[in-house]
Amino acid sequence: MNDKLCNIHKYDARKIDKLIKEPIVDVTVTSPPYFDMKDYGYKEQIGFGQSYKEYLNDIGTVFKSVYACTKSTGSLWVIVDALRKDGEIVALPFDIANKIREAGWIFREIIIWEKDKTVPWTHKGQMRNSFEYILMFSKTDDYKFFIDKIRDYEVLKSWWIRYPERYNPKGKTPDGIWHYPIPTQGSWGKGYIRHFCPLPEDLVARILTLSTEENDVVLDPFSGSGTVLAKALNMNRRYIGTELNSEYISMFKNYIKNTNTEKQSEYEKEKKYLVNQMDFEKIILQLRALKYARILLKKIDDQDVRIVQKIKVEKSSEKCLKKNSVDCYKYTILLSTLKEKEKIEKIINALISKAPLSKFGIDALFSYVDKIDKLISPKEKLYSYSNKITHKFIRGINLDDRINEKEVILSPIKLDIDENEYKEL
């Protein structure tokens, strides 16, 4: 492997394009040194002993070089706080954002990182400082952004079961306020690192999950204690860092040597969350498909049409053709007579083109039969549902069983969901 990858270099971030001469970086995640704040203890440091203009120009130079070594699908995430000078706010995040835009980056997102506490605690005439900005930029319009991987599906309550058509089957879309407590001094890295302002590991993990895949290259030009690089390593990504303070560099190396095995296995466990998320998505879509049949039956009933006896619901292997549909299902309708097939077809077409059925995201393919043995094949095992509840089957049935009037929906889909279990979440 190229020795530049998976390494932290004692190197000036302003010259990063000399260190990385090709566009190989997938994501840069960094918190730059703040203006006039901290003395990191060496003369080339950005932000200390400089005018604000010099400082911003240096920041601009760094992100211009980062742009040059980033892939066209790459992104840049900058974590930065505003500051006060002589009682007045310095709009540092926005001044930095402008410098970054001048360097060619496209400004995509502002996320608020809400922290529990930070210094200074409070001052006369000021609110407690409780958040920082996460500014996100891309190099082109074609940037990696895997939003589905960070959807929260565990926030589901019982209404997901009753109203599966209302929510994204992959989970809730994350919003732009992220809550992560700041690591307390000494807690981060079990004593391996002592740094002024390490980033929370989980915050970095979320950004890396959103913006990269395994084996991608992660850059942090202002590595500090190396939170970003360590997380990249834990998550099977490659990394490059630059930092001028040798003490931080050796602390970082010591840290990963002692913790990576444990952190990597934590990451492997967390990957299972995505598998669970996919199972959950499948259930939501099945809930929708069965509820679709239930609502359709009710609407037909409301029109006083009494020839529909049962509906069989099956997943179709056909590709969805309808715009905005998420899944395709076959609905086979058992009629008491096929003579009125055209009439019922018309009614159904009118019903499914209007809300609520048009909002289910289901591409429904209908067919009609007039005999139960045309609905159920001899060896087929199905589950029956009533016209009131479609998240819990009544019983398993086959062609030989007497199917009673209440069992109006039949399907190979077996749903047995206890609403109370989900209320706990």
Nearest of 186, 241, 169, 180 to residue 206 by alpha carbon: 180
Residue 65 sits in the site that holds ligand SAM (CB under 6 A): no
The region of 42-50, 322-330, 356-364, 417-425 touching ligand SAM under the rule CB under 6 A is 42-50
Q: Which residues pair with 410 in a beta bridge?
A: 312, 384
Task: Tell the smallest beta-carbon distance from residue 199 to ligand SAM (Å).
Answer: 4
Residue 192 or 331: the one with the smaller Cβ distance to ligand SAM is 192
Pair 172, 151: CB distance under 8 Å? yes
Residue 11 or 422: the one with the smaller Cβ distance to ligand SAM is 11
Residue 195 or 312: the one with the smaller Cβ distance to ligand SAM is 195
Residues 216-255 that bind ligand SAM (CB under 6 A): 222, 224-225, 227, 242-245, 248
Nearest of 355, 357, 353 to residue 297 by alpha carbon: 357
Residue 280 sits in the site that holds ligand SAM (CB under 6 A): no
Task: Tell the smallest beta-carbon distance from residue 30 to ligand SAM (Å).
Answer: 6
- Residues with Cβ within 8 Å of residue 100, at least 6 apart in sequence: 59, 60, 63, 76, 78, 107, 135, 137
Cα separation, 246 vs 263, whole angstroms: 24
Residue 61 sits in the site that holds ligand SAM (CB under 6 A): no
Residue 383 sits in the site that holds ligand SAM (CB under 6 A): no
- Residues with Cβ within 8 Å of residue 74, at least 6 apart in sequence: 23, 25, 26, 27, 28, 138, 139, 143, 144
Binding residues for ligand SAM, rule CB under 6 A, total: 22
Total Cβ atoms within 10 A of residue 11: 17
Among 31, 70, 212, 286, binds ligand SAM (CB under 6 A): 31
Task: Tell the smallest beta-carbon distance from residue 92 to ligand SAM (Å).
Answer: 12
Number of residues that this document lists for the chain: 425
Residue 20 or 376: the one with the smaller Cβ distance to ligand SAM is 20
Residue 80 or 283: the one with the smaller Cβ distance to ligand SAM is 80
DSSP for 25-44 reads EEEEEE-PPPTT----SSTT
Cα separation, 182 vs 131, whole angstroms: 10
Residue 13 sits in the site that holds ligand SAM (CB under 6 A): yes
Cα separation, 136 vs 176, whole angstroms: 11
Which class for 224: exposed (0-12), middle (13-18), buried (19 or more C-beta within 10 A)? buried
Residue 198 sits in the site that holds ligand SAM (CB under 6 A): yes
Among 44, 266, 345, 418, binds ligand SAM (CB under 6 A): 44
Helix (H, G, I), strand (E, B) or coil at 316: coil
Residue 45 sits in the site that holds ligand SAM (CB under 6 A): yes
Residues 178-197 that bind ligand SAM (CB under 6 A): 195, 197
Task: Tell the smallest beta-carbon distance from residue 15 to ligand SAM (Å).
Answer: 9
Residue 33 sits in the site that holds ligand SAM (CB under 6 A): yes
Residue 13 or 344: the one with the smaller Cβ distance to ligand SAM is 13
DSSP for 67-108 reads HHTEEEEEEEEEEE--EEETTEEE-HHHHHHHHHHHTTPEEE
Chain positions contacting ligand SAM, by CB under 6 A: 12-14, 31, 33, 40, 44-46, 195, 197-199, 222, 224-225, 227, 242-245, 248
